[in-house]
Amino acid sequence: MNSTLDPKLKIENYHMAAIRFEVCDVPVIIKARAPHLIALFADYFHYYRPQLVDELHDHTPPAAPPIGHSTITVDLKTRRHLPPLECLIPPQAELLSETGVIRLWREPADSDSGERFYFHMGTAAFRVDPERDYLAGLITPEALSLSHVLTNTYTLFALLLLLRSHGLYHLHAAAVVSPRNQLYLICGAPHSGKTTLATALGLAGWRPISDDSLLVHARESAAQLIALKKSFHLANEILDRWPALDGITRHHRYHHRTCVAGLEFFGATALAEVSFGRVDHILIPQITGEAPSSLRPMPAGEAVLKLAEQSMFFQLWRKHTEQQLNLLAQLARTAACHRLSAGTDILADPRCVAEILEQKARDHRSGAGD
């Protein structure tokens, strides 16, 4: 039994609820015994139009069986406390990465099982089994109390690792379509201004399709880029400062940010479904704290390096590393690459970003640019 999702009304009726959706043709099922957990993820992935299924009673195959990709299963369980670390992480696993509270280990394949990865975030833990397309998660009430971090960081990271094994590569970048239908990538580290710039361009009539996450993949060897569809996460300071955003639908606040319905507000919901085969401009932003914003050209090789630096798990699995670099290079080949020094003039007038970019495009067309 598949049903159109209406989590508030129906999830409580399910013994073991699950949602099913596809990310770029890769089928994903998220299942849990806790209905509120399913409701939470159904809301987070709502742009992917998840279908609610009853895992215990639904044995009917999907109407259109997936071709080419096996289904990723995300199996979530709630626990009052996480077991001790040594019960979760095998002794042979090697610590790969530590970012704040997030730690990632890798356990090499052996005769019994394939390679496995373990995430531990203090309040939640995940085991990722790429060979089986399986992700098991333990969620504590503490993790649920920061539901946005649980969905958008903890669980998403683990899911992105599995998507990588399907050739879907994460890129930490915003993407905006200009009035001349040119695609601009804004790629940078956290707090480099991606969301603010994408929003500023949206206020100037451009269409932002993502404020911080994209997926890169190959279609018959050609690079394709598509938004990882989710709410925008705007700084509260920007919401307070720019009255033109007053009508934007706000969901919830966390830390200093608010989740907002950016795609709807900027009329970019349909564009966010589009897979782009070409990037026209790559911007690497840097917040300067000085008044005037400016653009200066940067070599394509430096731009590709920045894209690779902002690609999660870029180092993982060399065949994918090589393919991903090749795809990023393909995208950069068609693009004009610039470093954008984002100044305080943008805070005063968000539309000035569009003016700077349009002037540069005019200069380029007239041959006066770089």
Partner 1 sequence: MDTRSKKVVIKEQASFTELLDHREAIILDLENLHYYSLNAAASFLWKQLRARAVHTAESLSAALAAAFGINAGQAASETHAWLNELEQYGLISYAALGVEEKLANPGTPTTEPLPPYAPPLLKLSNSLRHMTLSGSSTVSSGAITALGGGS
Q: Is residue 226 part of the contact set for partner 1 (CB under 8 A)? A: no
Question: What is the Cα–Cα distance from 130 to 22, expressed in whole angstroms?
Answer: 17
Give whichever of 25 and 322 is closer to partner 1, judged by the CB atom: 322
Give whichever of 104 and 204 is closer to partner 1, judged by the CB atom: 104
Among 189, 134, 193, smallest CA distance to 165 is for: 134
**Interactions with partner 1, residue window 229-258 (CB under 8 A):** none
Q: What is the CA radius of gyration of the chain?
A: 21
Q: Is 1 exposed, middle or buried (0-12, 13-18, 19+ CB in 10 A)?
A: exposed
Q: Which of 16, 88, 235, 329 binds partner 1 (CB under 8 A)?
A: 329
- Which stretch in 10-18, 26-34, 251-259, 299-307 sits in contact with partner 1 by CB under 8 A? 299-307
Q: Which of 146, 325, 347, 352 binds partner 1 (CB under 8 A)?
A: 325
Among 69, 59, 58, smallest CA distance to 25 is for: 69
Q: Is residue 71 part of the contact set for partner 1 (CB under 8 A)? A: no
Give whichever of 155 and 310 is closer to partner 1, judged by the CB atom: 310
Q: Is residue 97 part of the contact set for partner 1 (CB under 8 A)? A: yes
Q: Is residue 3 part of the contact set for partner 1 (CB under 8 A)? A: no
Lay out the site mask for partner 1 across 304-323 (x = CB under 8 A, - = otherwise): xx--xxxxxxxxxxx-xxx-
Question: What is the Cα–Cα distance from 17 to 19, expressed in whole angstroms?
Answer: 7
Q: Is residue 190 part of the contact set for partner 1 (CB under 8 A)? A: yes
Question: What is the Cα–Cα distance from 242 to 235, expressed in whole angstroms?
Answer: 11
CB of 98 to partner 1, least distance (A): 5
Map residue 165 onto helix, strand or coil.
helix
Q: What is the DSSP string of 80-142?
A: SSPPPHHHHS-TT-EEEEEETTEEEEEE---SSS--EEEEE-SSEEEEEEGGGTEEEEEE-HH
Q: Is residue 136 part of the contact set for partner 1 (CB under 8 A)? A: no
Q: Is residue 110 part of the contact set for partner 1 (CB under 8 A)? A: no
Map residue 334 onto helix, strand or coil.
coil
Q: Is residue 120 part of the contact set for partner 1 (CB under 8 A)? A: no
- Which stretch in 98-106, 136-144, 228-236, 266-274 sits in contact with partner 1 by CB under 8 A? 98-106
Burial 280-309 (b: 16+ CB within 10 A, else e): bbbbbbebeeeeebebeebeeeebbbbbbe
Q: Is residue 355 part of the contact set for partner 1 (CB under 8 A)? A: no
Give whichever of 29 and 161 is closer to partner 1, judged by the CB atom: 161
Question: What is the Cα–Cα distance from 60 to 51, expressed in whole angstroms?
Answer: 14
Question: What is the Cα–Cα distance from 211 to 229, expressed in whole angstroms?
Answer: 9
Give whichever of 327 and 356 is closer to partner 1, judged by the CB atom: 327
Q: Is residue 34 part of the contact set for partner 1 (CB under 8 A)? A: no
Q: Is residue 352 part of the contact set for partner 1 (CB under 8 A)? A: no
Q: How many helices (H) and strands (E) does the chain have?
A: 13, 22
Give whichever of 278 and 351 is closer to partner 1, judged by the CB atom: 278
Q: Which of 49, 333, 362, 364 binds partner 1 (CB under 8 A)?
A: 333
| Amino acid occupying residue 330 | Q
Among 219, 329, 233, 320, smallest CA distance to 274 is for: 219
Q: Is residue 274 part of the contact set for partner 1 (CB under 8 A)? A: no
CB of 330 to partner 1, least distance (A): 9
- Which stretch in 29-37, 99-107, 253-261, 282-290 sits in contact with partner 1 by CB under 8 A? 99-107
Interface with partner 1 by CB under 8 A: which residues?
94-99, 102, 104, 106, 108-109, 114-115, 130-131, 153, 157, 164-165, 172, 188-190, 299-302, 304-305, 308-318, 320-322, 325-326, 329, 332-333
